[in-house]
Structure 1
Amino acid sequence: MSAERKLVSIVIPAWNEEAVIPELGRRLAQVMDAHPQYGFEVIVVDNGSRDKSFELLHGLHHQDPRFKTVQLSRNFTADGGVAAGLRYATGHCAVLMDADLQDPPECIGQFLEKWEQGFDVVYGVIRSREGVSRTRRLGNKLFYKLLNTVTNVGGTSLPQNVTAFRLMDRRVYEVLNRMAETNRFTRGLCAWCGFTQVGIEFDRAERFAGETKAPLLDIVKEAIDGIFSFSFIPLKLVTVLGLALSVFSFLFLAWQLIASFFMGNAVEGYLTIICTILLMFGFLFLVLGVIGEYLARIFDEVKARPLYVVKGTVGFPEEFSTALDRRLPVHGSNP
């Protein structure tokens, strides 16, 4: 690689993707060969796969040294894999994408064009989804609408249908590397960083092969992480709810007293009391649940555990990996 060429790091978290890796390598190689003006490194983070993913990635490196692998000791989720990949990235910019080829590698060329125009972040926006039910589409719309309503991501909002598929300038991903948050919502963190950002629409294909790694429960968890990581509105709603219940209780009590003393209406007995108690306990548990979500996140942060644990690497010099391990991010400090 000539010294004057800019280096592009492509970071891909992967978990049990043996059915996709050969095609992923083929298509990425085509994209890299189509842009000889850049140098490339592909960092695939094996997130504790139980199939033959690591063996295939090892073979891919021997075929093409541009492919490198970071093997984690277990599955640290996609965001943990992204954090590990960005820590090992050395490029002038980094591209994040999924391994299932729903993020088309062919869009990387468009990302690079926008980057050369001066944009620090170029993110993918889904124009259409293949093989997705109406229920899933409706859920995605509600997700972004809710997220933009209740969160404050650096004073801005997340575009509708924005994805984690994106290019980030080195200045941006180095800021992410200095963040040691345990419950990470990468799209939100990237928006929080600021810088100049632009979106590019693309059509999202069906998964190339294998089973989906994003079931409904994981999507719901991601939505909860996004809300609780970037919003105090749930806590504020608890305050408003408590005030509203207090006013309602006072007015209801006043009405019962007036009806009893001035209208001669007897105050109803046990049914009213039981319903009121059940209602109040329901709201109480809701309030405790919201507070518990924040406390759980605080508990995760103060434990200061690393975001990932590296089991081994392929394609990186040993001294580079050792030096990198020594400066892994610690909560509350910068590397």
Structure 2
Amino acid sequence: MKKQESFVSVVLVIKNNFNILTSYIKELSDDLNQSYSDYEIVIIDQSSTDETSANIDNLLTEYKSIRYILLSSEVTEDVAVAAGYENAIGDFVVNLDIQRDPVSLVNQLVTLCKQGNDIVLGVTKQPTTAMYNIIRPYVKRILRSIGYDFPRDFSGSMCLSRRTVNAVTESGRFYHKLYVRIAKTGYKSIDFKYDSKVVSNKKDIVTGIKEALHFTIFNSTKPLRWMSTLGVVGSLLAFVFAVYSIIVNIFTNNVTQGWTTLVLFSSVLFALLFTMLAFFGEYLARLLNDRSEHRSYSVVYEKNSNVMLDENRFNVLYDSESDDLNIVKTGRNK
């Protein structure tokens, strides 16, 4: 089978997974070596505490085109994936989960990406709890309002064209905003359904709320507007209650009347106040993070494979123009 000329980067985010990393790299390398003339495997290590960093040299001397990047501390999933995309140099960049995704997924995603789809999203069936299914439609509306429009069963694995990667990473601080920025590029996107190797843990209501807050707070100022609106509504209710208190004092001499209403209403107002303060605190923290000079992740060191793909291959053109079809840009000139 003739190898494809496209340069494919595969990003693997690991955390104490060396027991399955070796076999996965072997299978992945064999598959990539048969399919592509140029490829790289970018391993993002979330500061593993197992034998990964001590034994990674064995993989680098045996397998071709591996780049191992060790982060100084564990970060959130979107930041780790963003670190992989920022360091990848391929025409098409795919990220996989070594515990869940088959290696054959790379060729399937890249094939769809070459057909003019700049974004190919992996979709696999994920078990959910009953409460998660109840709140999911409402959470989806909130996420859509900030531009996050990924499919419900999005697995986290995807393939991006080079221009999509550039559009997402060229604007500086994008790490926590990775998925929303991908959705907002406006490039053509398609879903790809596949079967996972393992069944994921059930998504529950706590996980759903955490993800929704993470995406919302880091990607939009709309919650701040919602809290402001809530504050206005609370002020109006307080004014109505003040009018009610005046009317009660005019038409009755019973001082205790309305005391229960006062207590309940004061409680509601305090709840609104503290909810607003919580969101203000989140946004103040976000502003402080955005104004700080430190990056969202730090690299301890990077190691590369000692084995080259093809030492006799040169990236040299002898003519300034060529009639050959540019496979990388196929379908993207519209």
Deviations 1:204-244 (A, max 9, x none): 34279xxx8x9997765433221113333322222222222
User: Against the structure 1 CA distance between its residues 274 and 255, is the aligned structure 2 distance closer, same or farther, given a 3 Å change threshold?
Assistant: closer
Post-superposition shift, 1:270?
5.6
Contact persistence 1:147–1:226 (CA under 8 A): no
Distance 1:316 1:95 in 2: 19
Aligned partner letter, 1:298: L
Tell me, yes or no, if structure 1 residue 242 matches structure 2 residue 231: yes
Percent identity between the aligned chains? 22
Aligned to 2:151: 159
Unpaired segments of 5 or more residues in structure 1?
318-335
Aligned to 1:71: 70
Distance 2:291 2:207 in 1: 24
Aligned partner letter, 2:106: I
Aligned partner letter, 2:57: H
Deviations 1:113-160 (A, max 9, x none): 21121111111122x23xx4x42x753774574144355445x72222
Aligned partner letter, 1:169: S
Deviations 1:271-305 (A, max 9, x none): 55444333322211111111111111111010021
Distance 1:292 1:43 in 2: 36
Deviations 1:173-216 (A, max 9, x none): 122222433761422221122211111012334279xxx8x999
Tell me, yes or no, if structure 1 residue 174 matches structure 2 residue 166: yes
Tell me, yes or no, if structure 1 residue 291 matches structure 2 residue 283: no
User: What is the SS of the residue equivalent to 1:45?
Assistant: strand
User: Against the structure 1 CA distance between its residues 90 and 18, is the aligned structure 2 distance closer, same or farther, given a 3 Å change threshold?
Assistant: same
Aligned partner letter, 1:125: V
Distance 2:41 2:195 in 1: 23
Aligned partner letter, 1:172: T
Post-superposition shift, 1:258?
2.6
User: Against the structure 1 CA distance between its residues 149 and 49, is the aligned structure 2 distance closer, same or farther, given a 3 Å change threshold?
Assistant: same
Contact persistence 2:11–2:95 (CA under 8 A): yes
Distance 1:141 1:29 in 2: 42
Contact persistence 2:13–2:45 (CA under 8 A): yes
Q: TM-score, normalised by structure 2?
A: 0.79
Distance 1:22 1:216 in 2: 35
Alignment of 1:62-211 (within 5 A): 62-100=61-99, 102-126=100-124, 128-129=125-126, 132=127, 134-135=128-129, 138-139=131-132, 142-143=135-136, 145-154=138-147, 157-181=149-173, 184-206=176-198
Aligned partner letter, 1:149: I
Aligned to 1:228: 217
After TM superposition, the runs of 4+ consecutive aligned structure 1 residues lying more than 6 A away are 214-219
User: Against the structure 1 CA distance between its residues 268 and 203, is the aligned structure 2 distance closer, same or farther, given a 3 Å change threshold?
Assistant: farther
User: What is the SS of the residue equivalent to 2:190?
Assistant: strand
User: Against the structure 1 CA distance between its residues 78 and 245, is the aligned structure 2 distance closer, same or farther, given a 3 Å change threshold?
Assistant: closer
Alignment of 1:285-324 (within 5 A): 285-315=274-304
Unpaired segments of 5 or more residues in structure 2?
307-334
Distance 1:249 1:228 in 2: 28
User: What is the SS of the residue equivalent to 1:190?
Assistant: helix
Post-superposition shift, 1:4?
8.0
User: Against the structure 1 CA distance between its residues 107 and 71, is the aligned structure 2 distance closer, same or farther, given a 3 Å change threshold?
Assistant: same
Contact persistence 1:6–1:92 (CA under 8 A): yes
Distance 1:179 1:143 in 2: 31
User: What is the SS of the residue equivalent to 1:115?
Assistant: helix
User: What is the SS of the residue equivalent to 1:42?
Assistant: strand
User: What is the SS of the residue equivalent to 1:19?
Assistant: helix
Distance 2:185 2:232 in 1: 36
Question: Please, which moves more after superposition, 223-232 or 194-203?
Answer: 223-232
Question: When the two structures are aligned, how many residues end up with a matched partner?
Answer: 304
